[in-house]
Amino acid sequence: MITGDLFNFTLFVALIGIVNIGLVGAVKLVDVLDSAFQYGIIAMIASLPLFGGAATILAATGTLSLIELSHLSLVTPMVQFASVLLLMGIAGETGIAPFYATKAEMFRTPGSPFLVIIHLSSLLVIVRAIEILLIINKPF
C-alpha cells in the first residue's frame, strides 16, 4: 500500500477485492453467498476503470512513478479523466459509497466473521487512494 508506483497500488487494490470475496465466501449461508456473488461481480466490473485509469495515466504522462508524477507541472484533461476512472475503480473494488448496497447484506448477517478486517482495509486503502489522487492532480 505504501508504494511509489501507481500500478502496484492498483494491483494491490484488485487483490484486496479478491481477498474480500474469499473472506466473505467462506461463510456457508445462502444470503451471505448471494451478497458475496454480487460484490464479486461489482469488483470484477470495477477492474475495467481501475486498470484503465492507470493505463490512461501512463499514456498521458509517460510514467507511473509517483515521484515523477509529483514533479510534472501540467495537469491535462486526460489526467483528470484518468483520475475519475481510478476513483471509480477503487470505489468498486473496496465497495464504498455508491456500491455499498452489495456489502450491506453481508454486514447484516450475524454469523459472518472478518467484518472488521474488510471494513478496515477498505478505509485504509481509501485514505491512500485520496493521497495518490492529490499527488497526481495537484489541486493546491
Q: Residue numbers of the site for other proteins (CB under 8 A)?
A: 7, 11, 14-15, 17-18, 21-22, 25, 28-30, 33-34, 36-37, 40-41, 43-45, 47-48, 51-52, 54-56, 58-62, 64, 72, 74, 76
- Give 26's contacts (C-beta < 8 A, 6+ positions apart): 113
CB closer to other proteins, 47 vs 126: 47
For the chain, helix, strand, coil in percent to 5 are 80, 0, 20
The β-bridge partners of 108 are none
CB neighbour burial string for 73-103, b if at least 16 within 10 angstroms, e if fewer: eeeeeebeebbebbbbbbbbbbbbeebeebb
Q: Cβ 61 to other proteins, closest distance in Å?
A: 6
Q: Cβ 140 to other proteins, closest distance in Å?
A: 20
CB closer to other proteins, 54 vs 66: 54
First to last CA, the chain: 24
Q: Cβ 63 to other proteins, closest distance in Å?
A: 8
Q: Cβ 11 to other proteins, closest distance in Å?
A: 5
Phi, psi of 39 (to 5 degrees): -65, -40
CB closer to other proteins, 25 vs 96: 25
The single-letter DSSP state of residue 5 is B
CB closer to other proteins, 45 vs 84: 45
